[in-house]
């Protein structure tokens, strides 16, 4: 079972948006996917309540219950588990991330967001978890993308794929779907599928189709 924790100390970086979209991306290619919503705000779990499709499974858990939820998931045969986390989770993130295969750290390409990316990286690295930043909500052709990539590359790995600033992300989530289901031919759908492919390569997820 591959476990991927999505974290950022900064609120609103895109943790829930990406947790849900990546969970659906993996599910759409045939993985058995569980999304653990470890944020008391419950954004990912609320999305699942509006969803009609029969996957991926979404469970709300207390941060302190994540490790036992992971053991249960392994015994149930899940192949990929995403964990959506709360902002400013410093204390609990160490425990949540323990044993994860990868931490995906969304960062918006703004100076404030870049500043707060380091502490999150430090926490997951100290827990022994490999991490990579993903630039989220990027304006098309903005010079900030390349500049942010350079700044982040000094701290750690950065995904090739960047995620655009697109209204379809929120719009699709409102209807209990992902952009791949809501607008399958959109740029958003393509970039999410590519980001999942990058994650699958890094974590050695064996493609099911
Ligand atoms: N790529 C994107 N394009 C456009 N809007 C986005 C994008 N990613 C996130 N947003 C918007 O930014 C806001 C915050 O996103 P989200 O809730 O995913 O962040 P979060 O990191 O989970 O926040 P929190 O720290 O509160 O849990 C939401 O309104 C969401 O629709
Ligand atoms: Mg969230």
> Can you give the residue ranges of every domain in the chain?
2-203
User: What sign does the CA torsion over 161, 167, 173, 177 have?
Assistant: negative
Protein residue with least CA distance to atom 25, ligand 1: 11
Q: What angle do CA 73, 208, 200 make, to 5 degrees?
A: 75
Q: What angle do CA 124, 205, 34 make, to 5 degrees?
A: 70
Q: Thinking of the domain 2-203, which architecture would CATH place it in?
A: 3-Layer(aba) Sandwich (3.40)
pLDDT tens figures, 96-106: 999 999 999 99
Examine the pLDDT at 198 and tell me if it is beyond 60: yes
Q: Which of 100, 97, 19, 27 is nearest to 60 (CA)?
A: 19
Instruction: Say which residues have a Cβ less than 8 Å from residue 170's Cβ, sequence separation at least 6.
Output: 17
Residue 12 Cα, ligand 1 centroid: separation in angstroms? 5
Q: Which of 139, 114, 120 is nearest to 6 (CA)?
A: 120
pLDDT tens figures, 78-89: 999 999 999 987
Share of the chain above pLDDT 70, in %: 98
In this prediction, residue 90 has a pLDDT band, given cuts at 50, 70 and 90, of confident
**Which ligand 1 atom lies nearest to the CA of residue 163?**
1
Which residues sit with their C-beta closer than 6 Å to ligand 1? 8, 11-17, 39, 41, 43, 87, 136-137, 163, 165-166, 169-170
């Amino acid at each position: 079972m591959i476990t991927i924790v999505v974290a950022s100390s900064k609120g609103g970086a895109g943790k829930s948006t990406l947790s849900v979209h990546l969970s659906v991306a993996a599910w759409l290619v045939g993985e058995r996917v569980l999304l653990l919503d470890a944020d008391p705000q419950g954004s990912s779990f609320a999305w699942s309540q509006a969803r009609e499709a029969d996957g991926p499974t979404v469970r709300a858990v207390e941060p302190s219950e994540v490790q036992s939820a992971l053991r249960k998931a392994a015994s149930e045969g899940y192949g990929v588990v995403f964990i959506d986390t709360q902002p400013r989770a410093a204390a609990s993130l160490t425990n949540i991330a323990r044993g994860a295969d990868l931490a995906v750290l969304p960062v918006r390409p703004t100076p404030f967001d870049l500043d707060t990316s380091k502490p999150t990286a430090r926490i997951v690295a100290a827990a022994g978890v490999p991490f990579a930043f993903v630039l989220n909500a990027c304006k098309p052709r903005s010079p900030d993308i390349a500049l942010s990539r350079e700044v982040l590359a000094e701290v750690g790995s950065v995904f090739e794929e960047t995620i655009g600033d697109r209204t379809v992300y929120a719009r699709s989530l409102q209807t209990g779907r992902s952009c791949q289901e809501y607008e399958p031919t959109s740029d958003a759908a393509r970039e999410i599928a590519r980001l999942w492919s990058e994650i699958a390569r890094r974590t050695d997820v064996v493609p099911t189709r």
